[in-house]
Amino acid sequence: MSHIPALRTELDASPLSAYLGPLVALRRDLHAHPELKFEEHRTADRIAAYLKALGVPIHRGLGGTGIVATIAGKGSAFGSSSRAIGIRADMDALPIQEMNVFDHRSQSDGRMHACGHDGHTAMLLGAATLLAQRPEFDGTVHLIFQPGEEGGAGARLMMEEGLFTMFPCEAVFALHNWPALPAGEMGVRVGPIMASANRFEIRVHGRGGHAALPHTTVDPIPVACAIVGQLQSLVSRGTDPLDSAVLTVGKIEAGTIENIIPDEAAIYGTCRTLSPQTLKRMLEGIERVATHVAAAHEARVTILWKPGYPSTCNSHHEARFMGEVMRELVGEKHAHPDVMPAMTAEDFGFMLEQIPGAYGFIGNGANGKPGVTLHSPSYDFNDDNIALGARFWERLVHRWFATSHKETP
């Protein structure tokens, strides 16, 4: 963040400065001891111990390993308030073998924090530190430490187990470290900021036989290949160029040996869109293409849909508010109120389907340049973001409760 000297000075002078060393050490400890979805027991214990040392009350067990910490403001000129908001950080790691060689690299084979959730946790603990020291806000903030974001839909599970019934929120917010943005920059947008993610399996049913007698069979392998080729037209020729959709076939299975034509071939893929309307059209298109291409070759298909995460769609008011706080903190030049959406998926979208809110990006690049991509075996969270993220959350809380936040019709 050396390109923003004023911000660096402000962060160094903040009440958090004395806590930064322990927070960085904690973040690196979490990185060295990654835990997969719903296995975040040690991680949750470290979080709970830190919060208890601050004197912040916590509730454990939602979603298995989830934690909700509650900090009640001491009131302000507006008087006491029943208003509350939520801020969420995810805790889980990925099943990836780490390739980094620094001292805090993963000590667990096949597991690493390749998405920066260790950093999200540290930023929110930093926010807890600041808010516990300065609770001069007229409301309550619930700090949500969520398990199972990486494919486990931990956000939905916490909600199903009563998250927003036990801890009502008028708005909910989250940040994700973002390697495409240089460190010291932040971004948000109104509307979809991350895509929905749905998986599918297409089984092509043919009629097997001897490889030397193909005319007596209905070979499912070329049928599967034809389906894959035609599916690409759903994006290249069936989607508005100004819209966004991704259809990827990542796996094809068929056969047991070279000289036998199998009875079946299976196609596995994912479909990602930013809007429900585009998703509906894509799913209808997948079924139409697969069914008719198979019929043209005297084969048939069965399709298994595997619903995933909804698009992460930011509410207008909350996204604009988040953008204002970003601009106040990092300056207009380094705040992006209409950042480019991503086709990655995020289960925070479940929370935004129930509660108004916003999801933003905090730059994770280094030396003013984009960093290593997410889910890379060489990824690491930028520790400079612990102070920046914590300060951002503190400012957002104070600013939110200082205003009524009633939208004009």
Helix (H) or strand (E) holding 324: helix 316-330
Mean pLDDT of 151-178: 98
Q: State the pLDDT at residue 304.
A: 98
Mean pLDDT of 331-348: 97
- Same domain, yes or no: 181 and 157: yes
- Same domain, yes or no: 208 and 280: yes
Please determine, for residue 201, whether its predicted confidence score (pLDDT) is greater than 50: yes
Please determine, for residue 370, whether its predicted confidence score (pLDDT) is greater than 60: yes
* Paired tokens of 287: 């079924």
Residue 5's pLDDT band (cuts 50, 70, 90):
low
Residue 13's pLDDT band (cuts 50, 70, 90):
low
Q: Of 309, 331, 348, which one is at a domain's C-terminal end?
A: 309
Mean pLDDT of 242-256: 96
Mean pLDDT of 340-346: 96
- Same domain, yes or no: 163 and 301: no
- Same domain, yes or no: 257 and 127: no
Provide the whole-model pTM.
0.92
For residues 80 and 63, the model is more confident at: 63
- Residue among 152, 108, 87 nearest 359 (CA): 87
> Is residue 285 a part of any domain in this protein?
yes
Rounded CA separation 299/2 (Å):
62
Q: Look up the domain containing 363 and give its range.
A: 5-194+311-401
Mean pLDDT of 5-13: 55
- Residue among 167, 38, 34 nearest 96 (CA): 34
What is the domain-level CATH number for residue 277? Answer: 3.30.70.360
Number of domains in the chain: 2
Residue 17's pLDDT band (cuts 50, 70, 90):
confident
> Is residue 406 a part of any domain in this protein?
no
What is the domain-level CATH number for residue 136? Answer: 3.40.630.10
> Is residue 336 a part of any domain in this protein?
yes
Please provide the average confidence, as pLDDT, over all residues in the chain. Answer: 94
- Same domain, yes or no: 55 and 165: yes
- Same domain, yes or no: 207 and 161: no
- Same domain, yes or no: 271 and 369: no
> Is residue 289 a part of any domain in this protein?
yes
The set of residues, in sequence order, having a beta carbon less than 8 Å from that of 44 and lying 6+ positions away, is 60, 65, 66, 67, 91, 145, 147
- Same domain, yes or no: 14 and 137: yes
- Same domain, yes or no: 10 and 40: yes
> Is residue 409 a part of any domain in this protein?
no
Residues of the chain above pLDDT 90, percent: 89
> Is residue 305 a part of any domain in this protein?
yes
Q: State the pLDDT at residue 408.
A: 36
Which range is least confidently modeled, 218-227, 235-244, 290-299? Answer: 235-244
Rounded CA separation 226/92 (Å):
39
> Is residue 407 a part of any domain in this protein?
no
- Same domain, yes or no: 53 and 187: yes
Q: Of 254, 282, 309, which one is at a domain's C-terminal end?
A: 309
> Is residue 63 a part of any domain in this protein?
yes
Q: State the pLDDT at residue 348.
A: 98
pLDDT digits (tens, 9 = 90+) for 378-390: 999 999 999 999 9
- Same domain, yes or no: 181 and 206: no
Q: Of 279, 309, 339, which one is at a domain's C-terminal end?
A: 309
Is residue 141 packed enough to be buried (19+ CB in 10 Å), middle (13-18) or exposed (0-12)? buried
- Same domain, yes or no: 318 and 289: no
- Residue among 356, 335, 332, 359 nearest 345 (CA): 359
